[in-house]
């Protein structure tokens, strides 16, 4: 796996741990929007999916690695979070719980890396929620759905530009 896939897998694993501990369904990777959300008849459904997002090389240290150059990279993963529920109070509470779980997962991963308790210690240098976009999502205008796209910035080093 590439270093980018390693850091994305680490974020996903942290999210699965935190979401399940909070009693929320485990987030998916690259999952399409379930049609049941749009056509919700009864109850509640939560959709959370981690997408790779965009990456960029932020610095290159020429010849600093054993095999050549070392790259500082930032990957901006995008997490789609949506809650479908006809009960407004329950929809808002579940949505907020999802946002908290995403933030808690980023904090848990950052702490594990910082303390040396994670395999990516020394490689993954920062993990943080960078942006929460509540407008302009694919669910815009659907009354029974509350949604956001959460961007998480993962900063790390690699001997390749990815």
Q: Supply the pLDDT for residue 38.
A: 85
Q: Supply the pLDDT for residue 67.
A: 65
Q: Which domains does the chain carry?
A: 3-158 (3.30.70.1700)
Q: At residue 118, does pLDDT exceed 90?
A: yes
Q: At residue 18, does pLDDT exceed 90?
A: yes
Classify 56 in phi/psi space as left (phi over 0), alpha (psi -120 to 50) or beta.
Answer: beta
Q: Supply the pLDDT for residue 132.
A: 98
Q: Supply the pLDDT for residue 55.
A: 96
Q: Supply the pLDDT for residue 66.
A: 64
Q: CA 131, 9, 58 angle in degrees (round to 5)?
A: 55
What's the average model confidence in pLDDT over 13-37? 94
Lowest mean pLDDT, pick from 91-95, 96-100, 138-142, 146-150:
138-142
> For 68-112, what is each residue's pLDDT tens digit?
789 999 999 999 999 999 999 999 999 999 999 999 999 999 999
Q: Supply the pLDDT for residue 1.
A: 83
Task: Give, as one character, the DSSP assignment of residue 13.
Answer: H
Q: At residue 59, does pLDDT exceed 80?
A: yes
Q: At residue 65, does pLDDT exceed 80?
A: no
Pull the structure tokens for residue 7: 């850091």
């Amino acid at each position: 796996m590439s270093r980018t896939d390693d850091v994305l897998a680490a974020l996903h694993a942290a999210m699965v741990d935190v979401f399940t501990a909070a009693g929320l369904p485990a987030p998916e990777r690259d999952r399409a929007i379930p049609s049941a959300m749009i056509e919700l008849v009864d109850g509640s459904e939560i959709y959370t999916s981690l997408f790779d997002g965009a990456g960029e090389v932020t610095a290159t240290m020429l010849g600093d690695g054993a095999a050549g150059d070392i790259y500082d990279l930032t990957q901006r993963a995008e997490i789609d979070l949506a809650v479908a529920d006809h009960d407004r109070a329950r929809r808002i509470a579940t949505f907020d719980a999802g946002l908290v779980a995403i933030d808690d997962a980023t904090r848990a991963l950052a702490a594990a890396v910082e303390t040396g308790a994670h395999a990516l210690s020394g490689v993954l240098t920062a993990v943080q929620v960078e942006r929460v976009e509540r407008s302009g999502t694919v669910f815009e205008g659907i009354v029974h759905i509350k949604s956001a796209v959460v961007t998480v910035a993962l900063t790390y080093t690699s001997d390749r530009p990815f």
